[in-house]
Amino acid sequence: MPSSDWRLCCARVPAEEIIYFSQVLIAYIVIIVSLINLSLFDANVCLWSSLASGTIGYLLPNPSIRQYEPLLRHTSV
């Protein structure tokens, strides 16, 4: 069974952790570059705004509805 750990700087690090942090770092770079281009230049406004909003949507958690227990569990009718 192959190991899912990678060697970095004389240490073993889980590969999933490196991949996750790399994706988040790249997403933040895309957002920063998009916002800079939107604020400084007038060209490709649609491109940069869609890149920024898509990347922000990727980083935000999915909404979910909490499942509450019923207030009256055992009621007799």
Domain count, the chain: 1
* Residues 54, 34: Cα–Cα separation, whole Å: 11
Classify residue 47: in a domain, yes or no. Answer: yes
Q: Give the DSSP H or E segment for 12.
A: strand 11-14
**Chain segment 29-47, per-residue pLDDT in tens:** 999 999 999 999 988 999 9
pLDDT value of residue 2: 54
Q: Are 4 and 35 in contact (CB under 8 A)?
A: no
DSSP β-bridge partners for residue 6: 13
Classify residue 77: in a domain, yes or no. Answer: no
Interacting residues of 5 by C-beta distance below 8 A, sequence separation 6+: 12, 13, 14, 15
Low-confidence ranges of the chain (pLDDT < 50): 1
- Tell me the pTM: 0.70
Classify residue 67: in a domain, yes or no. Answer: no
